[in-house]
Amino acid sequence: MTAPQNPSKLTLPTTAMKSPKLFAFAAFALLLAGACNKKSPADDKRVAELERKANLAEERQKELEQQLADQKLAAEREGIERERMQIEEARAELEQLQGEAATAAADQLRQREEALTTREGQFERIQSTLDDQEVAIDQRFQQLSQRERDLAGRDALDVRDEGEPEAPVGDYGTFYDSLAPYGSWFQTPDYGYVWQPVAVYESSWRPYTRGRWACSDRGWTWISDEPHGWATYHYGRWCHLHDHGWVWVPGSEWAPCWVSWRFGDNHVGWAPLPPESLAYHGHHWDRTVDETLGIGARWYNFVEIRHMGARINPHCLPYEQNDNFYQRTANVTNIHLQNHQVVCGGPGYREVNEGTGHAVPFYRLDIDHHARPGLDPLVMRPRIDGDRLRISAPNLDAAWNAAMQPPKIKGSIATVTVDRPATLRPEVADRFRQTREENRNTAEQSITRLGGREQFALHRLQQLETAKQIEQARLAKLQQEENNRREQARLLKLQQDAQAEQTRQHQLQQEENNRREQARLLKLQQDAQAEQTRKLQLQQEENNRREQAARQAEESRKKTERQKADDDAKKGHGR
């Protein structure tokens, strides 16, 4: 088991990888060189590629740092929940002690409670810091088409049909064992075995508040901070019992979440579906779900829309005002099946983004159907990898589930009184009771086929292991087909990119040829104009020369005539 982190050592990762700096420096060097020399298209392409690699490396660095921080916080949260459970067990043991032993145990218990409070405070502060960093990382993955943005949040986005799982790889024993460290199991006449988290003793605790919402290709997905969240927010249902508080009823159908949605007037609200909805496997729940299942204002959590995508707990509005928020919002639930997978539609992704002022994280879900809790309690937690959200969702729909019981039962709740804000329809209650009876009969028949209760434990494990191997082979085949499809798409993309690059190069060459031809023609035109100008100048010079020669000749003639006239005049005087 992963040891919980010491809160004093829970620090944010500050290490930096060298790759982004090297890429950035290389790109800068080329840019600097380009500033001094004329750059060719090839130089521009190399610089752009280096800049792209530098950006990718920097983004990957941030992802790795965020993943490391998330892992540390998850381990710390798991440790806090275990310590909370151990404190409750110690408090129960304290009631059996007397005298000095009781006093000493009470002092020790008080010290542990104070230390846990301090530890939780440090956890919340570090969590808040990481939330701010996470928003910046998630922004770059919001690359959706216009059609996808219109569908996201309300409906599915091209969900792959994985078919019906052939056989379960686990059963309710998975729930009974893995949830025991974080709460207690009780027996009830109406719902069978129910589980209550130790956190329920906190006055502010409610289902679907310790974590955050993310939009996915299967509607809205709850990403829980709690170590039991992989089970209690994706399987089964919640209800609030009078004098007992919130309890969880196991179920075998997985979904990104099981809630009713309300939206409007800058507020978003959600309420867990009650256990009676378990009788409607694969049912389409729409905006009438509150009326059908008796869900009222008191079961809802409301936040201002600007806090969607952030950690929810600090932003939940006072529950005393739920009636007001309920009246100001409208139900927008759209839970349905598509390609054998549950889609949890609610508020539109576009509208939520407009209300938050930024892009709420959007992920493509990668579902692991054969993951099972082991020695590491964190193996089932959701993991973010770029634009993918990897979630553990094993098929636990074993026929014998209704005949199983937890190894440790804290007690019985003889009278089940649900604090139901609205009236449950009689036909819903009847269908739930009938379904429970059918499940019990099916379980007994299944145990009989496995050799009776004496052989059940052994044959159960053998059958689950065989089913797991078959399911792994089936999923491996599907994954191979998906890999082949992606490889074909990649090759097609490379071919299209190559053709586009060839076309671009051809266009560039054509533009270069056109530019050269235009330059040649311009040079010829300029040369012709220059030659014409030169000839005009020569002609002008020749004309000027001739005019000057004519003037000189005229002047010479006139001079000669004057000289002759002068000579004639002199001769006349001589006579």
Looking at residue 95, what is its pLDDT?
A: 67
Domain enclosing residue 383, as ranges: 147-458
Looking at residue 18, what is its pLDDT?
A: 45
Q: What is the DSSP letter of 285?
A: B
Do both 277 and 182 map to the same domain?
Answer: yes
Do both 336 and 453 map to the same domain?
Answer: yes
Does the pLDDT at position 4 exceed 80?
A: no
Please check whether residue 232 lies inside any domain of the structure.
yes
Residue where the block lists tokens 């009326």: 291
Q: Where are the beta strands (DSSP E) in 330-373?
A: 330-331, 334-338, 341-345, 362-368
Q: What is the average per-residue pLDDT within 202-207? A: 85
Do both 218 and 262 map to the same domain?
Answer: yes
Yes or no: say if 170 and 404 are a contact pair by the CB < 8 Å rule: no
Angle, vertex CA 437, rays to CA 436 and CA 443, nearest 5: 90
Do both 438 and 295 map to the same domain?
Answer: yes
Does the pLDDT at position 349 exceed 70?
A: yes
Higher model confidence: residue 159 or residue 369?
Answer: 369
Please check whether residue 545 lies inside any domain of the structure.
no
Do both 451 and 322 map to the same domain?
Answer: yes
Lowest mean pLDDT among 327-336, 338-347, 358-367: 358-367
Say how far apart CA 233 and CA 181 lie, in whole Å: 17
Say how far apart CA 209 and CA 222 lie, in whole Å: 10
Do both 137 and 181 map to the same domain?
Answer: no
Does the pLDDT at position 90 exceed 50?
A: yes
Last residue of a domain, one of 84, 106, 141: 141
Tally of domains in the chain: 2
Last residue of a domain, one of 420, 437, 458: 458
Give Cα separations from 258 to 296, 334, 473 (angstroms): 16, 11, 29
Tell me the per-residue pLDDT of 266-318, one tens digit each, with 9 for 90 and over: 999 999 999 999 999 889 999 999 999 999 999 999 999 999 988 898 899 99
Lowest mean pLDDT among 5-9, 74-78, 247-251, 546-550: 5-9
Please check whether residue 541 lies inside any domain of the structure.
no
Please check whether residue 565 lies inside any domain of the structure.
no
Lowest mean pLDDT among 140-144, 232-236, 462-466: 140-144
Do both 168 and 316 map to the same domain?
Answer: yes
Percentage helix, strand, coil, to 5, in the chain? 55, 15, 30
Residue type at position 558: K
Do both 25 and 171 map to the same domain?
Answer: no
Please check whether residue 520 lies inside any domain of the structure.
no
Do both 134 and 199 map to the same domain?
Answer: no
Tokens of 233: 């927010």
Tell me the per-residue pLDDT of 39-64, one tens digit each, with 9 for 90 and over: 566 667 677 777 776 776 666 666 66
Run of H or E residues at 268 = strand 267-272
Instruction: Name the 3-class secondary structure at 408.
Output: coil
Do both 244 and 188 map to the same domain?
Answer: yes
Mean pLDDT of the chain: 82
Q: What is the average per-residue pLDDT within 489-510? A: 88
Does the pLDDT at position 475 exceed 80?
A: no
Does the pLDDT at position 398 exceed 80?
A: yes
Please check whether residue 560 lies inside any domain of the structure.
no
Tell me the per-residue pLDDT of 402-454, one tens digit each, with 9 for 90 and over: 999 999 999 999 999 999 877 788 999 999 999 999 999 999 998 888 888 77
Q: What is the average per-residue pLDDT within 173-191? A: 92
User: Of 341, 384, 350, which is closest to residue 142 (Cα–Cα)?
Assistant: 350
Does the pLDDT at position 187 exceed 90?
A: yes
Does the pLDDT at position 341 exceed 50?
A: yes
Do both 184 and 98 map to the same domain?
Answer: no
Burial 90-113 (b: 16+ CB within 10 A, else e): eeeeeeeeeeeeeeebeeeeeebe
**Residue 17's pLDDT band (boundaries 50, 70, 90)?**
very low
Please check whether residue 155 lies inside any domain of the structure.
yes
Yes or no: say if 251 and 397 are a contact pair by the CB < 8 Å rule: no
Tokens of 390: 């990897």
Do both 82 and 207 map to the same domain?
Answer: no
Please check whether residue 464 lies inside any domain of the structure.
no
Last residue of a domain, one of 87, 115, 141: 141
